[in-house]
Amino acid sequence: MKTKKERAEYIGRKLDELYLEIPIPLDHTNAFTLLIAVLLSAQCTDKRVNIVTPALFKLADTPQAMAKLAVEEIKDCVKTCGLANSKSKNIKRLSEMLIGEFNGEVPHSFESLEKLPGVGHKTASVVMIHAFKIPAFPVDTHIHRLAQRWKLTSGKNVVQTEADLKKLWPPEEWEKLHLQFITYGREHCTARGCDGTKCIICKTCFPHRKKPVITKKA
């Protein structure tokens, strides 16, 4: 497969074969709990997040309830997640900001979401597409690595990777592809399990590739 378009068409078909129906891996009940779960997932597995959030959301599943909790109460629930100190403070502060600046609602724009403590572009993108169905293609380190292995981007940074992937597929496919990429990366093309020469997509797209692919960090 010589062109990006050819590879993208094959990859899309293969991912549909494997994951035609694919759920959001982070447990949530509304836009706010999704926002908190995504924030907690930084440097932490989704599995771990899903273990800690039930206790947190039992205490508070709205900005109004979360803002009333002390930082230590939040931290006690999420202490097994990485960066628990800063995440607990950010959860408290963003809840207060949602009340003070957004009438207690999670905003529907990238600009407003990215003003919230602990919320970067990737987190905002996840909330925008999964909670509000506004087109976005969240790119994390899993997707960034795969896009490089499959030569869908030159891989300088996640910003470029996001832009390159958006050019290859229409907006109505971004939500599904985001989840498919992540799941495939975890199951078949892991950081240690495949070096760009072992999984079915890598082997099919690049049958003559002999050397491992050295991916650039995000």
Catalytic annotation, residues = 122, 140
Rounded CA-CA distance 153/215 in Å is 11
* Region of residue 175 (phi > 0: left; psi between -120 and 50: alpha; otherwise: beta): alpha
CA distance 130 to 139: 14
> CA geometry: angle at 123 spanning 142 and 49, to 5°?
75
Rounded to an integer, what distance in angstroms lies between the CA atom of residue 198 and that of residue 217?
Answer: 20
Q: How far is CA 200 from CA 18, 197, 207, in A?
A: 12, 9, 10
